[in-house]
Amino acid sequence: MVEIFLGKRIRSYMTLICAILVLFYVINGLIYLFAIMYLLIKKSKKDDSQNNTYPFVSIIIPSRNEIKNIIKCLECLKNQSYPSDKFEIIPVNDASEDGTDKILNQMAENDPHIQPVHIPVSKRKNQGKLNAIDMGIQHARGEIIITTDADIWMEPNWMGHMVKGFDSNTGLIIGMTLDEFSNHPVHAFQALDGAGIRIIAAALAEINKPITCQGSNLAFRKEAYIQVRERVLALATSCGNREWLMQEIDLATDWKIKTQLHPESIAHTYSPDTWRALINQRSRWASTGKNYSKLSVRLYLTLIYFSLLAFIVGPFVLGAQMSGIIWGMKLLIDLAVALAVIKAIHQPRLLYAFPLVFFLQPIMVVITAFLGTFGLYRWK
């Protein structure tokens, strides 16, 4: 009798916990919807075409063993429509072992915009990309710094649109990076799920709640970087370094953080080709969560984790009827958010990936958050 009572009591507690977590998920989804719609309305009313100033821009590209990607990236940057005397390209060779250094030197001989910086193995630090970015900034002449990655390509007007987002109060601009969509399941999943993560991050930044950003398309004032440099370098790890820059500018300065969603400001990349590679990439990203300075952000990310876990364990705890209800609520919220994301980036074909993301996202988040928290991932 006691065992039956305890079993029922434990089941009741677990049901209550699952219900609370699902309610959090629903409320959080509604907040996402509000933030995305606010972002779209705000961007639709803004006309940045009158901003015709051209500050000097330094583009920093941290590169380690990127011989397969760096040429395409540099060709895109060389062909930018921005005034040719107003920008420089600083690829930072981070102790590459595949001949990246030779390619950079050859391209620099043919184009004065390209000013490579080489970090020898003896001076390489365990700070991931941020050490390379910091080295690049030390050589940079630009008032505006834009960071990107070697496996990125962009439209000819990309730089101009990223710069147009700055006003006198703006210290950092979060740009969008989208993964190329294909019928390959991994690519399809990453294209929609990755776009969702980035649009939600941009929307939260617009309501003064920045949580994360994509370093492959990030612009900031050199002055703002100098203000927080020491703190950012102290936080640096192998991943998420540019998130610390955003975090410190938000917490320690009066600069504003904004987003840029113009279609020509979007950077493009390819996602990993296998589920194993994607899980490893997401685990690296997740590893940064425990290092956020704001307790509220860490708590928020923890609740996201357990709310998704509730959808996985729900069928084993709540029974078929209740599980059907909570998954139905998830379907409505996820579909609404997905449609808002697709509208924001003008990519209707991504809707084909929705069933895949709907079912696999909770599993992906739970697995990669665990692996990232305990350092069970491989760096490049």
Q: For 239-279, write each residue's pLDDT tens digit.
A: 556 778 998 999 999 999 999 989 899 999 988 999 999 99
The whole-number pLDDT of residue 285 equals: 84
Distance CA 291, CA 297 (A): 10
User: Does the residue 297 lie in any domain?
Assistant: yes
Output the pLDDT for position 6.
42
How much is the pLDDT for 46?
63
Q: Residues 126-146: what's their mean pLDDT? A: 88
- Give the pLDDT of residue 1: 43
- pLDDT at residue 347 above 50? yes
Task: Choose among 379, 5, 360: nearest CA to 193.
Answer: 360
**Span 68-92, average pLDDT:** 95
Mean pLDDT of all residues in the chain?
88
Tell whether 216 and 328 lie within a shared domain: no
pLDDT-above-90 percentage for the chain: 59
pLDDT digit string (tens) for 209-246?
888 888 899 999 999 999 999 988 887 655 556 778 99
Reported as a pLDDT band with limits 50, 70 and 90, residue 128 is: low
351 falls within a domain: yes
Stretch (H or E) spanning 61: strand 57-63
Are 261 and 298 within one domain? no
* Residue 230, domain member (yes or no): yes
Instruction: Report pLDDT for 226.
Output: 96
- Residue 266 domain-assigned? yes
Instruction: Classify residue 210: in a domain, yes or no.
Output: yes
Number of structural domains (the chain) is 2
Residues 60 and 35 in one domain: no
Spatial distance between the Cα atoms of 318 and 361, rounded to a whole number of angstroms: 21
Mark out the alpha helices in the chain (DSSP H runs): 2-45, 70-78, 100-110, 128-139, 158-164, 185-206, 222-235, 241-252, 275-286, 295-317, 319-345, 354-373
308 lies in which domain range? 20-42+292-373
User: Residue 4 above 80 pLDDT?
Assistant: no
Question: Of the ranges 51-55, 98-102, 345-349, which one carries the lowest mean pLDDT score?
Answer: 51-55
Q: Is the pLDDT of residue 74 over 90?
A: yes
Query: Which residues contact residue 339 at a Cβ distance below 8 angstroms, ignoring those fewer than 6 apart?
Result: 351
| Judgement on whether residues 102 and 121 belong to the same structural domain of the protein | yes
In this prediction, residues 158-185 reach a mean pLDDT of 93
Question: pLDDT-derived band of residue 33, with 50, 70 and 90 as boundaries?
Answer: very high
Of 276, 308, 323, which residue is a domain's last? 276
Report yes or no: 342 and 350 within 8 Å, Cβ to Cβ: yes
Task: Let me know: does 216 contact 146? Beta carbons within 8 Å.
Answer: no
Say if residue 271 is in the same domain as residue 309. no
Determine the average pLDDT of the residues in 70-75: 95
Residue 300 lies in a domain: yes
